[in-house]
C-alpha cells in the first residue's frame, strides 16, 4: 500500500466523521425535542361546556411539580357584547392609572362578563381567558376589571384573569409558604364574584365562545349563543 493510498483513506475517514457529527447532532436535538415535549399534553380532551347565561361546574386536576392541584368552580357567561371604544379607554385609565393605548381604526371592542362561584380556598390563579371564533382564531384579554376588586397601591402588571385584584384566593403552590413555620394567610376571595373582560379584535371577528383554561388537557368553553 502506498503512502498516497494511506493518506487517502485517512482523509476519507476524517471526511466521514466530519459529515456524521452534524447528522448525529441533529438526531440528538430531534430526540431531545421529542422527550422534552412528550410529557406535555398538547390536545384538549376534557371540556366543561355551556351556552350563554348557563352555569357550568368544572373540576380539573393538574400536576404541579410533584403535587396534585385541583381547579374547581362554577362559571356563567352573563354578557357578551360589543362595547364602545370610549368605554374601554375609560375603564383602562381607571384600572391602570395611565392613559389608554390608542386603538387602530380597523378594530372593535368586545366586553364579556363572567360570574364565578367557588370555595374561597380553591386555587384559581394563573388562568388564561380568551375569545375564539369558528376558525379557531383566538383573541386575548386586553383589560380585566371586577366589582370586587380591592384597593391596591399599584395595579398588577400581569393581573389575574379569574380573581378580583387585591381579593385573590390561595396559590396552588406558594413558595413563600413552604416553610412549616409560616402560617398561610386566609383567602380574601368571596364565594361569588364577577369578572369583566375587554377584548380588542379585528373588524368582522365573530366569537363563538369564551374559553377559560389552565392549560391542556382541560378547558371551559362558554358559548356566545343560548
Q: What is the pLDDT of residues 91-133, one digit of tens each?
A: 999 999 899 999 999 999 999 999 999 999 999 999 999 999 9
Per-domain residue ranges of the chain? 42-223
The model's pLDDT over 176-224, given as tens digits with 9 standing for 90+, comes to 555 545 556 789 999 999 999 999 999 999 999 999 999 999 999 999 9
Question: Is the sign of the CA dihedral 55, 59, 63, 68 positive or negative?
Answer: positive
Tell me, what's the pLDDT at 65? 73
Percent of the chain, pLDDT > 70?
76
- Strands across the sheet with 218-223, in order? 46-50, 218-223, 207-213, 128-133, 138-140
Q: Is the separation of the CB atoms in 127 and 60 below 8 Å?
A: no
Closest CA to 159 of 167, 7, 90: 167
Round to whole Å and give the CA distance between 56 and 22: 53
**Could you tell me the three cell numbers for 179?**
416553610
Tell me, what's the pLDDT at 2? 52
**Which one has a higher pLDDT value, 36 or 115?**
115
Tell me, what's the pLDDT at 26? 42
Fold entry, domain 42-223: Immunoglobulin-like (2.60.40)
Detail the DSSP E strand segments found in the chain: 46-50, 56-64, 67-83, 107-117, 128-133, 138-140, 143-145, 192-202, 207-213, 218-223
**Which one has a higher pLDDT value, 3 or 225?**
225
Number of H helices, E strands in the chain: 2, 10
Amino acid at each position: 500500500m502506498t503512502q498516497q493510498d494511506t493518506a487517502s483513506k485517512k482523509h476519507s475517514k476524517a471526511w466521514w466523521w466530519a459529515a456524521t457529527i452534524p447528522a448525529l447532532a441533529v438526531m440528538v436535538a430531534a430526540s431531545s425535542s421529542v422527550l422534552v415535549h412528550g410529557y406535555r399534553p398538547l390536545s384538549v380532551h376534557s371540556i366543561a361546556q355551556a351556552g350563554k347565561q348557563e352555569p357550568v361546574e368544572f373540576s380539573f386536576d393538574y400536576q404541579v411539580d410533584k403535587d396534585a392541584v385541583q381547579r374547581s368552580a362554577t362559571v356563567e357567561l352573563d354578557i357578551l357584547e360589543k362595547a364602545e371604544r370610549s368605554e374601554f379607554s375609560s375603564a383602562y385609565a381607571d384600572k391602570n392609572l395611565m392613559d389608554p393605548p390608542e386603538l387602530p381604526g380597523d378594530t372593535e371592542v368586545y366586553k364579556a362578563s363572567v360570574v364565578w362561584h367557588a370555595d374561597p380556598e380553591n386555587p384559581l390563579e394563573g388562568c388564561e381567558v380568551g375569545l375564539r371564533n369558528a376558525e379557531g382564531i383566538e383573541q386575548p384579554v386586553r383589560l380585566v376589571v371586577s366589582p370586587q376588586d380591592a384597593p391596591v397601591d399599584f395595579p398588577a402588571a400581569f393581573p389575574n384573569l379569574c380573581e378580583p385584584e387585591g381579593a385573590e384566593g390561595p396559590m396552588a403552590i406558594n413558595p413563600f409558604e413552604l416553610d412549616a413555620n409560616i402560617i398561610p394567610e386566609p383567602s380574601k376571595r368571596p364565594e361569588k364574584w364577577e369578572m369583566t373582560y375587554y377584548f380588542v379584535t379585528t373588524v368582522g371577528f365573530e366569537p363563538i365562545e369564551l374559553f377559560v383554561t389552565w392549560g391542556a388537557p382541560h378547558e371551559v368553553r362558554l358559548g356566545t349563543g343560548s
